[in-house]
Amino acid sequence: MALDHFVSQVHLKNFYSDQLDRRQMFAYRKSKLDSFRCSSADVCRIPDGSTNEFLEEPRAIEEYLKLIEPHYNRACDNLATDKFDHGDIIVLSGFCAFVMSCSPTAMRLGAHFFSVFAALELELLDGIGEIPPPPVETGARSATELLQSGMLRVDVDAKYPQAVSISQISDLARNFASSRWEILLNAHSSSTPFVTSDYPVSLERVQGRAMRVVAFRPDLAVRIWPNADIRDREPTIEDFRHRYLAPSKAEVRGVVRTIVRSAEDFIFSPQSSEGLKRLVSKHANFRVENIARRIPVNGGTKLHNSQHVVERTSG
């Protein structure tokens, strides 16, 4: 049984600490509010996590990663020195797409979406008489009543949304590679580094728009803005736009806060920091969640799903 990493080791190793001879990093855990030292091999891994039997080729994602991981550090170096090309952007976009497809956070969010969607479909079928009445022992008159009472629940195998995401991973990577990037060069990384997590494609909202914030290294991060100008066609790499920014220490701390709040459980840093420990404690109860809304449309119902960082409601 393979122990598959859902955050690439080549990424995590960039957060190794000089204090630990560049062989380990410092980990902070939201669920237990503890901290410890670890290597990239110790964390962010699941037995057969990359194996998906819903796919014709169960280990397909491993072939995809062969196009990404060997080139990750070169792409980071080129981005940091303004020497990048389209290939580098595709590599880094591919890393982001991998995390958003295969991490436990991605699978949890995907399973929740499909369960909400399936429940809505069940109610619609029930409304037109396609679902037989439930047993009288339940005390409910319909499947809809069972759903609303909590007696009936739709559970989704999290491997199914993972399979859907893997089958569409190239499209997601292309969307990232055709977006607007703010490239953040952290000149304060020796004292105030960027950190990473077990869900490093962090979520940030500005005026209702969802952006992704990713720290590739302690000195290099990006803020990815969706390209709102593309409406009537497929995005291409030619749509990519970028600008370089030099964040202040306060702005770096703001990025770190975003990463901590979006993390599922673990945060990784090249520094042992009481300040980071306090930040993790303060935001330990936050994570990315789906917010699903039903919208009436032409006599039917549209399901609108969006992601937000909120106080966790379960688990």
pLDDT on residue 226: 84
Q: Quick check: 312 pLDDT over 70?
A: yes
The tens digit of pLDDT for each residue in 214-262 reads: 999 999 999 999 876 666 667 777 889 999 999 999 999 999 999 999 9
Average pLDDT score over the chain: 92
Q: What single-letter amino acid sits at 138?
A: T
DSSP state for residue 103 in the 8-state scheme: S
pTM: 0.91
pLDDT on residue 196: 99
Least confident of 40-44, 111-115, 129-133, 200-204: 129-133
How many alpha carbons fall within 13 Å on the CB side of residue 91?
Answer: 23
- Contact between 266 and 28 under an 8 Å Cβ cutoff? The reply is yes
pLDDT on residue 183: 99
Instruction: Map tokens 């290597």 to a residue.
Output: 39
pLDDT on residue 10: 98
Copy the structure tokens of residue 283.
């935001």
pLDDT average, residue stretch 203-213: 91
The tens digit of pLDDT for each residue in 270-309 reads: 999 999 999 999 999 999 999 888 888 887 778 888 999 9
Q: Quick check: 139 pLDDT over 60?
A: yes
pLDDT on residue 229: 65
3-state secondary structure of 224: strand
Q: Binning pLDDT at 50, 70 and 90, where does residue 107 land?
A: very high
* H or E stretch at 181: strand 180-185
Q: Binning pLDDT at 50, 70 and 90, where does residue 130 land?
A: confident
pLDDT average, residue stretch 179-193: 98
